[in-house]
Every structure is written in C-alpha cells, then in structure tokens.
A and B are shown apart, each in its own frame.
Chain A
C-alpha cells in the first residue's frame, strides 16, 4: 500500500524568498516520487521525479527535492520564489516494484505576494 501526506494545504511567501513545500510518503516497496504543478485552469505538469538515482533531484524552473528515506520525506524547495510560481503543487508516490498506479497528495496551494 502507498500513501502521501502533504503537510500544508496553503503556503504563502513573498517574491524572492525561499519556498518549502512538505511531503511525507508511505510505501511498501522502494518508491518513485514525483512533484507535479497545476496552474489555474490548466492540466498537471511534471516538475521533477525521483526513481532511485541521486537523492537530490533537480527539476524545472529552479525547483528541487530531496529524497530522505529515514524521514520518509520528499520536500520541494526553491531558493527564490517568483510570482509565476503561484500554483497548486501535488506530491505523488508510486511503488517501483512492477507496475503501480500513482497516489496523489491532496495538494498545496502556493501563494506568492509582491
């Protein structure tokens, strides 16, 4: 069984300040982990993915995430927020043993103020 918990439903930051979106996961097997972003009235876009290589994963638009097995976490960070980062972010887990469907977190809305 697999599950994912996004610890904050909303995060507010000022433009130019760091972003931290928190995600904890549970998985019976070695997991694949993803972050997706959804801008208003748009589909989901893959930001980055972890599949077993380097634990620090770099994605698009300056985002990165670190896989920490001991903490079962996969937090998303960005050093400096931009207004265009305002969107909803989803942490997603999938078991890597054979084919497995994705399990989505409930999402974190990132608000960026000038």
Chain B
C-alpha cells in the first residue's frame, strides 16, 4: 500500500543551526511534492512545491530536494530561528490525481 513517512515526530535544534526534515514514500510515483507549515490551532500554509523533474528548489532560507530514486524529499531550514518552530507536513500528488496525500508531520522546535 502507499505510504508516506516523515521520520522523527519531533526535532529539536539550537537557533542558528540547519534543520533537516525527511519525507520518505513507498508505492508512489508522485508528479510533485509540497511542503507546508502548520502552527498550533491553524491551517497549513504552503511553503514550497517541487516537481519530479526538479532536483532542488530554494526560497529564502528554505531548500527542498527531491530524489525519485531514493523516494525521498529533504526539507532544510538554514539559520533556524525560534519563529521557525512549527509542524511541517509533506504532501505528494500523482499526475492528474487532483488530490494530495499528506504525511503525519514533523514538529520542529528551535531553541534560543
């Protein structure tokens, strides 16, 4: 069956370090993958989208990689700040599927 795993339910790092979150999937051939941020009591907010033919994408302090051979995406936050503390969700979608499947999320805590 199809499965998405965001390993480490929780990740704690020191301010200024790089946070690296992982999204692994099995039995998928996603056309693209998205990352969202969710704060407690709020809806998810879109961060980045990367397509299957793209290896890497950047936006300010954020970087996403997508390895379709390893079936893995890495999400990096460089120079992390306490304000980056939140839950981060990855979502996969097949071509023309019209719907995304979400992972369970990783909760990041950045300590001052």
- Do they bind each other? no
Which B residues fall within an 8 A CB radius of A?
Answer: none
